Amino acid sequence: MGTAAKLGKPPSRNRRLRRQMTDFLAYGVVRVLVAIIQTLPFDMGNTLCLGLARLAAGPLKIRRRVTQENLNKIFPDADEAEKKQLAVQMWHSLLLMVCEIAWAQRRLHLVNWRKHVRIDQNKAILAIYLSERPVVGVTGHFGNFEVGGYITGLMGFSTLTIARKLDNPFLHRWVERFRGAKGQQMVDKEGCAPVVDRHLQQGGILSLLADQHAGPKGCWVDFLGEVASSHKALALFSLSNQAPMMVGYMRRLNGCPMQFELGTTGIIDPLNTESSEYSSVKGLTQWYNQRLALAIDQGVEQYWWLHRRWRTPPEKVAKRLAKAKL
């Protein structure tokens, strides 16, 4: 480590220029790849993704250890062949998601969206979106949540989404342009609470990924049969603003590219006295994790088993959880 870095000094001008050039080159490569993907027919893109998935899960061993650990936790009775096949299917789904994001910009619009998306429980979803009350919508790293946000905006519903800023500023601006093309607004997760509260107080729709690890001080609840740390803010946004919470999903149908089902596995209203057991942060956090698990059960191969969702809780938390099971 250099002396300037040790002293906390800002990087030199040459170093900043090198970083900008590297970021721009990476951005250029991504844009070229996206341009190529946009020209591919759906079936050709699907075949390409399947081949790359076999490489990622096989010889390249990308995120293999984390993926294997997660699959061992959640599917302890599955044999090795089944877990290996599930890892390939997961990579296929993830790579296909990238292609679908590229295709959506050119091939998904107001005239033809019904050819690509069917809506389950459309009356319930429309009723909550068309009400004048704020809404907290939660989903997870499942299916194609990016196209889910895109199609929601396409149908005229503007949402506010919390997302971490990408390290590459060129890629970050490009991703934001895609997400905001149909009215989706983005806010960085650092210091976002005042912006979110103001948005909800004005009757806005908030969209969140609910399966991010929240660290040792998070709310530890059951998720797919194992304890996981969840952010308390999601439940607090709903409870403090008396905003109904909806667990939504955008899952791919029969493994076919650009064929989706947009739906919900549950809607809960803090003003409903029958839901009093979910009026606490822990109760509501457990509820949306259970509902997200129901969505994942409809297509386990479409969940991101490669990210570190389940981690060892602190000793005090582990003892409390073990005592609660007795």
Mean pLDDT, the chain, integer: 91
Higher pLDDT among residues 305 and 320, named by residue: 305
Residue 126 lies in a domain: yes
Report residue 160 as tokens. Answer: 């506010």
Is the pLDDT assigned to residue 8 strictly greater than 70? no
Quick one: angle between helices 13-39 and 80-107, nearest 10? 90
What are the two backbone dihedrals, phi and then psi, of residue 267, each rounded to the nearest 5 degrees?
-130, 130
Is residue 257, in this structure, part of any structural domain at all? Answer: yes
pTM score, two decimals? Answer: 0.90
pLDDT tens digits, residue range 72-86?
999 999 999 999 999
Is there a contact between 140 and 210 (Cβ–Cβ < 8 Å)? yes
> Does residue 131 sit in helix, strand or coil?
coil
Q: What is the DSSP string of 94-145?
A: HHHHHHHHHHHHHH--TTTGGGTEEETTHHHHHHHHHSSS-EEEEE-SBS-H
Confidence of residue 1 (pLDDT cuts 50, 70, 90): very low
CA distance 267 to 134: 13
Is 8 a domain residue? Answer: no
Name 230's bridge partners. Answer: 219
CB neighbours of residue 69 within 10 Å: 13
Percent of the chain with pLDDT over 70: 95
Give a yes or no: residue 100 inside a domain.
no
Contact present, 181 and 104 (Cβ < 8 Å): no
Structure tokens at 33: 């790849």
**Cα(82)–Cα(74) distance, integer angstroms:** 13
List the one residue out of 259, 257, 243, 250 whose CA is nearest residue 298.
Answer: 250
| The total number of structural domains that make up the chain | 1
> Nearest Cα to 252, choosing from 49, 5, 28?
49
> Is 7 a residue whose pLDDT tops 60?
no
Q: What average pLDDT score do residues 282-303 get?
A: 96
Residue 238: inside a domain, yes or no?
yes
Residue-wise pLDDT tens digits, 142-196? 999 999 999 998 988 989 988 888 888 998 888 888 877 777 888 887 778 889 9
Instruction: Measure the CA–CA gap between 228 and 308, rounded to whole angstroms.
Output: 10
Q: How far, in Å, are 35, 80, 167, 251 from residue 22 at the CA level?
A: 20, 40, 12, 35
**Is the separation of the CB atoms in 90 and 28 below 8 Å?**
no
| Whether the predicted pLDDT of 302 surpasses 90 | yes
Residue 98 counted as domain residue: no
Mean pLDDT, to the nearest integer, of 101-121? Answer: 93
Q: Do the domain assignments include residue 40? A: no
CA distances from 93 to 88, 123, 141, 253, 299 (A): 9, 29, 11, 11, 10
Residue 9 included in any domain: no
Q: Name the one residue in this structure whose structure tokens are 């609470």.
A: 193
Answer whether 229's CB lies under 8 Å from 313's CB: yes
Identify residue 155 by its one-letter amino acid code.
Answer: M
What whole-number percentage of the chain has pLDDT above 90?
72
Parent domain of 287: 111-325
3-state secondary structure of 323: helix
Residue-level pLDDT at 201:
92
pLDDT digits (tens, 9 = 90+) for 38-50: 999 999 999 999 9
Helix (H) or strand (E) holding 54: helix 42-57
* DSSP state, residue 306: T
